[in-house]
């Protein structure tokens, strides 16, 4: 195995682990559904297939996002991963949740005769073990990346959708397995196969909720989100610390990929600086910024008097208030 392939597998261990688990689980669930006629087991089989497809799409998105910048996309293709993350959220909602709720409804109005649930319990136990392993890997990797940040805040601030999508999917899968097990047991205990259909609808509702949360996060990344406040403040401190800078007017950032940030800085320099000296200072500051924040892929530092920046900011705020188009500094 080549070093590059080994590194790629290591970087995508969460996705590969989830894909392997879901493929095996999906086959077992469909076999169990075919033998027992369980609606919730069929729903869980569809759920595993959707999750497998999602992992493949995310891997494809990561591959496409690594393409080098070109004349058409000078900042690269990193945000293509965000597009595929949004597609994943739509698939979970349309296919996963939709099929689950529809199948549950059919099972309620046309209940099937109950059969021995032993096969269902065996498959659910195996699925719980595999899904639990995938969930543990996703939790461990996300915990490493989040550091001391709270879980929900880390998800909201994360710029790498692959990690939190798998975490959400696996959490929903474990919840779905629990509901499926309860549905199978209750159907036999109360001798009412319609309960299995109700369990299928409950699984669909969970998938729908997860899809909405993922779509919300993916939409923000797709539109464009700033870097974390710590990064913005670090950039501001480095620029402001230079003796030739009298003020930092603004620092504007946007993620062009999970590990790539575009930053534009407006700074007021001492008036006596010559053009040549200013160019040299800006180059030095860019080197300092790249060393301090390696994820800065594109850096633009614009000399601008503080009063001009303030005037433009006031004009922009007024235009926003009245819904008018406006220009601004970059």
> How sure is the predictor about 263, in pLDDT bands with cuts at 50, 70 and 90?
very high
> How sure is the predictor about 9, in pLDDT bands with cuts at 50, 70 and 90?
very low
- In whole angstroms, give the CA distance from residue 325 to residue 320: 7
Mean pLDDT, residues 194-215: 89
Q: Is the pLDDT of residue 260 over 70?
A: yes
Every domain of the chain with CATH number 1.20.1510.10 lies at 3-223
- In whole angstroms, give the CA distance from residue 82 to residue 131: 25
Q: What is the pLDDT of residue 35?
A: 80
Q: What is the pLDDT of residue 321?
A: 53
CB 124 within 8 A of CB 181: yes
In whole angstroms, how large is the CA radius of gyration of the chain? Answer: 26
Q: Is the pLDDT of residue 113 over 80?
A: no
Mean pLDDT, residues 92-98: 82
Give the strand order in the sheet containing 245-257: 245-257, 260-269, 296-303
Closest to 257 in 3D by CA, of 83, 12, 15, 140: 83
* Residue 301 main-chain phi, psi, to 5 deg: -115, 120
Mean pLDDT, residues 142-155: 78
In the chain, % of residues over pLDDT 70: 89
Q: Is the pLDDT of residue 89 over 70?
A: yes
Every domain of the chain with CATH number 3.30.70.1350 lies at 229-321
CB 266 within 8 A of CB 249: yes
- In whole angstroms, give the CA distance from residue 3 to residue 7: 6
- In whole angstroms, give the CA distance from residue 264 to residue 294: 15
Q: Is the pLDDT of residue 310 over 70?
A: no
pLDDT, averaged across the chain = 82
When mean pLDDT is compared across 110-114, 120-124, 231-235, 324-328, the lowest value belongs to: 324-328
Q: Is the pLDDT of residue 234 over 90?
A: yes
Give per-residue pLDDT as tens, 57-81: 888 888 888 888 888 888 888 888 8
Q: Is the pLDDT of residue 294 over 90?
A: yes
Query: Token pair for residue 20?
Result: 């392997």
Q: What is the pLDDT of residue 232?
A: 94
DSSP secondary structure code for residue 73 in this structure: -
CB 134 within 8 A of CB 18: yes
CATH fold of 229-321, please? Alpha-Beta Plaits (3.30.70)
From the options 3.40.50.1370, 1.20.1510.10, 1.10.1760.20, 3.40.190.10, give the CATH code of 3-223. Answer: 1.20.1510.10
CB 201 within 8 A of CB 100: yes
Q: What is the pLDDT of residue 231?
A: 92
Q: What is the pLDDT of residue 177?
A: 87
Mean pLDDT, residues 304-329: 57
Give the CA distances from residue 159 to residues 105, 149, 165, in Å, rounded to whole numbers and listed in that order. Answer: 38, 14, 11
In the chain, % of residues over pLDDT 90: 22
């Amino acid at each position: 195995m080549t070093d590059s392939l080994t590194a790629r597998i290591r970087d995508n261990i969460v996705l590969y682990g989830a894909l392997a688990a879901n493929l095996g689980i999906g086959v077992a669930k469909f076999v169990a559904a075919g033998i027992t006629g369980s609606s919730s087991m069929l729903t869980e089989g569809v759920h595993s297939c959707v999750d497998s497809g999602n992992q493949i799409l995310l891997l494809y998105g990561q591959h496409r996002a690594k393409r080098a910048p070109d004349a058409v996309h000078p900042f690269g293709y990193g945000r293509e991963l965000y597009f595929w993350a949004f597609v994943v959220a739509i698939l979970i909602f349309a296919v996963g949740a939709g099929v689950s709720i529809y199948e549950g409804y059919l099972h309620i109005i046309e209940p099937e005769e109950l059969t021995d649930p032993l096969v269902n319990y065996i498959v659910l136990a195996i699925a719980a073990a595999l899904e639990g392993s995938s969930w543990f890997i996703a939790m461990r990797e996300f915990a490493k990346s989040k550091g001391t940040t709270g879980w929900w805040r880390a998800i909201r601030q994360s710029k790498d959708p692959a990690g939190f999508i798998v975490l959400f999917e696996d959490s929903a899968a474990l919840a779905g397995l629990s509901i499926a097990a309860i549905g199978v047991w209750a159907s036999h205990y109360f001798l009412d196969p319609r309960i299995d259909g109700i369990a299928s609808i409950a699984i669909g509702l969970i998938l729908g909720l997860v899809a909405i949360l993922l779509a919300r996060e993916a939409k923000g990344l797709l539109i464009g989100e700033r870097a974390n406040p710590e990064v913005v403040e670090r950039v501001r401190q480095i620029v402001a610390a230079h003796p030739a800078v009298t003020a930092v007017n603004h620092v504007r950032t946007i993620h062009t990929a999970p590990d790539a940030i575009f930053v534009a800085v407006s700074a007021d320099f001492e008036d006596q600086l010559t053009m040549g000296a200013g160019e040299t200072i800006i180059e030095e500051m860019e080197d300092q910024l790249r060393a301090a924040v390696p994820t800065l892929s594109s850096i633009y530092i614009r000399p601008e008097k503080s009063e001009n920046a303030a005037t433009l900011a006031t004009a922009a705020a007024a235009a926003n208030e009245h819904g008018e188009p406006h220009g601004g500094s970059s």
